[in-house]
Amino acid sequence: MDRFRQPAQAIVAGFGAAVATGTALLSLPAATESGQRAAFLDALFTATSAVCVTGLVTVDTGGHWSLFGELVILGLIQVGGLGIMTMATLVAVLLSRRLGLRARMVAQAETKALRAADLRRVLRNVVLFSLIGEIAVAVVLTARFALAYGDPFGRAVYHGVFHSVAAFNNAGFALWPDSLVRFVGDPWIVMPICLAVIVGGLGFPVVFELARSWRRPRGWSVLTRVTLGVTAALLVGGTLVLTAAEWNNPATFGRLDPPDRWLAGFTAAVMPRSGGFNSVDVGQMRAESWLITDVLMFIGGGSAGTAGGIKVTTFGLLAFVIWAEMRGEKHVNVGHRRLPEATQRQAVAIALMGVGLVVAATFTLMALTAHGLDRVLFEVTSAFGIVGLSTGITADLPPAGRILLIVLMFAGRTGPLTVATALALRERVRRYQLPEERPIVG
């Protein structure tokens, strides 16, 4: 049978089944604090946001959902995060091998393994990587909640585990209605969460390569070089620009001491990677800060990780393509490696498809609501980039607007991976060439 001939179908079906299960569980009376059934659209929106590790919400997570409901959300976040990392990493392993890709995919469907040893090793490493990271951050958060804020040990553990899992999986769900605003100046809360967002967003292949050969950077792959380079540039640049833009804004950074302003600026630069937490009121930020955040959300994080967006790898490779074209070079080189033309076309296709989807969704949502372009574009980009940041209009959207965001979150989670996989697997060698003609460009 050919049901796994296209891995995209399996990825979409798996996430669709998880969303359906989560919606059913959150629709139970036991899932809400009031004991009443949640509205179907709220349950569907929350389940999609959790499985797609986004963080956009139409109701207050800590106030609306019961303990059972919060545990369902936590489980959906873990399933969504582990699921995407496992699927993305397995696809990366498949596509990195040049021997019979199609045959390997079909064989996996029949035998339930790529190679038994390879599959077990990949799955084990992904799970261990996730669990160790989550436990380490949870320990720090638990200690801080218990010692500095006087939370009972049980509550401190629960808060620590919940926000650690949400951060490492780049989900952005918080149990407080103001997210992390109350902890804006507390580095023992904010920094572990930021670190979890960064590490989870790098992608398993990059982290695993760093663990193996961090002392030999000259031997790093193009993926690792580009991911680390672009990530560092975006974090530094984002911190400087956002801190400068908000420095004197009394509604955000202006009320803070200088060290806390820099901490808030760093947090504001990290969270658009798909983290989704906020330590200041996003709705009170300046329009120029929203625009910079839009750009960061659209780019997203690393490939084969929990972050969304078009990926820093795509953005970085396109920058190398532009640089090579400006210099008049025939080939695109990254370090000591030449970039295949097929990879260049895939990067262009993913970026342009992302732009088209965001523009179309922005136009549609503006037609459905009375909100201005800046707020609507922010909301749409946040949904597409599975970030979870919002200027505060999510709960006010009409049903059609919420459904649009649901579609965007699902497309933003499954789309880049499935499109990249489909493009890579459709690559074929043409046995003839047509006559060349150069049209006018520009």
- Which residue did the predictor score with more confidence, 81 or 27? 27
Mean pLDDT, the chain, rounded, equals 85
pLDDT computed for residue 205 by the predictor: 80
Instruction: Write down the pLDDT at residue 273.
Output: 85
Q: How far apart are the first and last CA of the chain?
A: 47
Three-class SS state of 161: helix
Burial of 67 (0-12, 13-18, 19+ CB in 10 A): exposed
Q: What is the pLDDT, as a whole number, of residue 295?
A: 96
Look up residue 109 and give its two tokens: 């469907």
State the Cα–Cα distance between residues 123 and 336, nearest whole angstrom: 31
pLDDT grade for 429, boundaries at 50, 70 and 90: low
Could you tell me the pLDDT band of residue 350, with boundaries at 50, 70 and 90? confident
407-428 average pLDDT score: 69
Q: Look at residue 98 and tell me whether its pLDDT is greater than 60.
A: no
Q: Which of 160-174, 382-396, 420-434 has the lowest mean pLDDT?
A: 420-434
Pairing of strands 333-334, 337-338: antiparallel
**Which residues have a Cβ under 8 Å from the Cβ of 221 and sit 6 or more positions away?**
209
Asked whether residue 82 carries a pLDDT value surpassing 70, the answer given is: yes
pLDDT at 423 over 60: no
pLDDT digits over 255-277, tens only? Answer: 999 999 999 999 999 999 888 99
Provide the residue type at 212 as one letter. R
Cα torsion for 391, 396, 401, 406, to the nearest 10°?
A: 70
- In the predicted model, is pLDDT for residue 110 greater than 60? no
Contact 404, 363 (CB under 8 A): no
What pLDDT score was predicted for residue 14?
79
Tokens 């732009």 correspond to: 355
Contacts 24+ apart (CB under 8 A), 278-282: 278/179, 278/180, 278/181, 278/389, 279/179, 279/180, 279/181, 279/183, 279/184, 279/190, 280/181, 280/184, 280/246, 280/252, 280/253, 281/178, 281/181, 281/251, 281/252, 282/389, 282/390, 282/391, 282/392
d(CA 167, CA 137): 9
pLDDT at position 94 is 54
How is residue 367 written in tokens?
Answer: 């037609």
Cβ atoms of 272 and 238 closer than 8 Å: yes
Residue in this structure with the two tokens 């960064």, named with its chain if needed: 198
